[in-house]
A and B are shown apart, each in its own frame.
Chain A
Amino acid sequence: MTHPDFLWRDPDPKPAYDVVIVGGGGHGLATAHYLARDHGITDVAVLEMGWLAGGNMARNTTIIRSNYLWDESAALYEHSLKLWEGLSDELGYDLQFSQRGVLNLAHTLGDVREGRRRVNANRLNGVDAEWLDAAEVAEFCPIVNVSGNARYPVLGGTLQRRGGIAKHDHVAWALARKADACGIDLIQGCEVTGFEIAHGRVRAVETTRGRIAAGKVALAAAGHTSVLAAKAGLRLPLQSHPLQALVSELLEPVLGCVVMSNAVHVYVSQAHKGELVMGAGIDPYNSYGQRGAFHVIEAQMAAALELFPIFSRARVLRTWAGIVDVSPDASPIIGRTPVDGLYVNAGWGTGGFKATPGAGWVYAHTIARDEPHPLAEPFALDRFTSGALVDEHGAAAVAH
């Protein structure tokens, strides 16, 4: 892989910007990119408290798919997947986007029913989806154990062939490079410590690198959204949890697709470099520690070996955790807030990576026009009051 010779500047913050994006992860960078590309807004700063894209963007298992159950979610994630399909070209950077297929296994009769239901909904929503029986699963992914002697035998699975993986760092760097080239300031090591709000409207952010005036402020801080929102006087329906992942050592190609199983809590793919990349369910408690409990990993390995006996001798090289902001209905929160000029894009929980371009796209629109993008409308905060939740626990609960 050859990277470009230059990626981004390391500027000091200016005193004021039209738009300040808080959070230099995938969503923040994508938002900056689409603000510039689609809305001509380039007087933008992206403030990152650590290193660029060093949060969940650097920690996720890079699975991309759009096979969500409800119309609202399918529309948003499918829009994102379509953007992915042109993103390497658009950004002029090899994102190693590989549409190798995402298999979602069913282990109980209930899984089968829900899997079929989702496949049918997806197809009617223009999302590619297929139902495979156990034999077809084995044909598509020969190393999956579909024998009846597994503790929870594989009864079938859904397949989204257009789903796959991409190289997370490349995505972040490609977006950063584009934004930087448009004159957008990517400012690292700059933590937002407060908001200046007058007459119900945000005026500036206070940061560890001084006050920065802002016409509009857009939160894109994933697991830290609640902490920021609290500084602006807002309480959001979000809880931050550790989400663990791990990689094996480099292996010769053995797994050509993405395999997920909600029932036994596993998802796995093999990265281009050769390592198996795996994830588990979230740790149940609130934490900002970027680390989880080891028994979660142990349980995940036991589950993985039920599906993939061949992995028995593969070795775990490294485990880690991100901080995911989980919403009550496992769907994101995108839109305006009670503070004028302050926007929120959060609650992506375990599934933010796949939404990177789509979220940036609709968020940029929402910020630029001060009204929700139609795809984002169902994901506004007021759904928690009306009860019109977009409950994607079935599609997102454990696996992403």
Chain B
Amino acid sequence: MMLLDCPFCGPRDENEFRYGGQAGVAYPANPAGLSDEDWAAYLFVRDNPRGWFRERWFHALGCRTWFTVERHTVTHEIRKAP
């Protein structure tokens, strides 16, 4: 049970949150202008590093805020995302 530091509620147990995967993947400005390949990449392809990972969490059972942290996918250490 990891401890995630919600920017509003402070540190809370992982199971109060919903995981949101890689951070910083913006919805394309003009989806209609994308090739099928680029659209598929937006839909389905995300980084999956062994190491530090910028990722999103949603405090579903608390303040309902989405936020971004950096977490190490092996040690599970967490640091504030720059």
**A interface residues with partner B (beta carbon < 8 Å):** 224, 226-227, 230, 235-240, 284-289, 293-295, 328, 384-386
Tell me the smallest distance from the CB of A151 to a CB of chain B, in Å: 19
Interface size on B, residues (CB 8 A): 27
A293 contacts B15, C-beta separation under 8 Å = yes
Complex formed: what's the CA distance from A84 to B76 in Å?
38
List which B35-71 residues lie within 8 A (CB) of chain A: 36-37, 40-41, 43-50, 53, 55, 71
Complex formed: what's the CA distance from A286 to B78 in Å?
13
Tell me the smallest distance from the CB of B38 to a CB of chain A, in Å: 9
- 13 inter-chain pairs at a CB distance below 8 angstroms, sorted by A residue, are A226-B48, A237-B45, A237-B46, A239-B21, A239-B48, A288-B73, A288-B74, A293-B1, A293-B2, A384-B45, A385-B36, A385-B40, A386-B36
Tell me the smallest distance from the CB of B54 to a CB of chain A, in Å: 11
Determine if B19 is an interface residue (Cβ-Cβ < 8 Å): yes
**Given A287-B76, A289-B74, A295-B15, 17 more contacts at CB 8 Å?**
A224-B50, A226-B48, A227-B48, A227-B49, A235-B45, A236-B48, A240-B48, A285-B14, A285-B19, A286-B21, A286-B48, A288-B74, A293-B2, A293-B14, A328-B44, A384-B40, A385-B36
A286 contacts B73, C-beta separation under 8 Å = yes
- Known contacts A240-B48, A385-B37; decide if A295 and B1 are in contact (CB<8 Å): yes
Q: Which residues on A sit within 8 Å (CB–CB) of B2?
A: 285, 293
A287 contacts B48, C-beta separation under 8 Å = no
A289 contacts B76, C-beta separation under 8 Å = yes
Complex formed: what's the CA distance from A247 to B13 in Å?
26
Q: Which residues on A sit within 8 Å (CB–CB) of B45?
A: 235-237, 384
Chain B 21-41 near chain A by CB (<8 Å), digits 1 or 0: 100000000000000110011
Interface centre among A239, A240, A288 (most CB of B within 10 A): A288
Residue of B nearest to A235 (CB): B45
Complex formed: what's the CA distance from A177 to B43 in Å?
42
Determine if B18 is an interface residue (Cβ-Cβ < 8 Å): yes
Q: Which residues on B sit within 8 Å (CB–CB) of A294?
A: 1
Complex formed: what's the CA distance from A385 to B44 in Å?
9
Tell me the smallest distance from the CB of B18 to a CB of chain A, in Å: 7
Complex formed: what's the CA distance from A235 to B25 in Å?
14
Interface centre among B41, B44, B46 (most CB of A within 10 A): B44
Complex formed: what's the CA distance from A237 to B43 in Å?
9
Complex formed: what's the CA distance from A295 to B75 in Å?
18
- Known contacts A237-B44, A384-B43; decide if A289 and B15 are in contact (CB<8 Å): no
Complex formed: what's the CA distance from A40 to B3 in Å?
53
B49 contacts A384, C-beta separation under 8 Å = no
Residue of B nearest to A328 (CB): B44
Tell me the smallest distance from the CB of A281 to a CB of chain B, in Å: 13
Tell me the smallest distance from the CB of A346 to a CB of chain B, in Å: 11
Tell me the smallest distance from the CB of A386 to a CB of chain B, in Å: 7
Tell me the smallest distance from the CB of B39 to a CB of chain A, in Å: 8
Complex formed: what's the CA distance from A227 to B49 in Å?
6
The 7 closest A-B pairs by CB, nearest first: A226-B48, A237-B44, A284-B19, A385-B40, A288-B50, A328-B44, A285-B19
A239 contacts B14, C-beta separation under 8 Å = no
B50 contacts A227, C-beta separation under 8 Å = yes
Complex formed: what's the CA distance from A236 to B45 in Å?
6
Q: Which residues on B sit within 8 Å (CB–CB) of A238?
A: 48
- Known contacts A286-B73, A289-B73; decide if A239 and B50 are in contact (CB<8 Å): no
Complex formed: what's the CA distance from A287 to B75 in Å?
9
Residue of A nearest to B4 (CB): A285
A235 contacts B41, C-beta separation under 8 Å = yes
Residue of A nearest to B13 (CB): A295
Complex formed: what's the CA distance from A235 to B46 in Å?
8
A289 contacts B75, C-beta separation under 8 Å = yes
Q: Which residues on B sit within 8 Å (CB–CB) of A286?
A: 21, 48, 53, 55, 73
Tell me the smallest distance from the CB of B74 to a CB of chain A, in Å: 5
Complex formed: what's the CA distance from A226 to B40 in Å?
17
Tell me the smallest distance from the CB of B69 to a CB of chain A, in Å: 11
Residue of A nearest to B37 (CB): A385
Q: Which residues on A sit within 8 Å (CB–CB) of B19?
A: 284-285
Tell me the smallest distance from the CB of A298 to a CB of chain B, in Å: 10
Tell me the smallest distance from the CB of A231 to a CB of chain B, in Å: 11
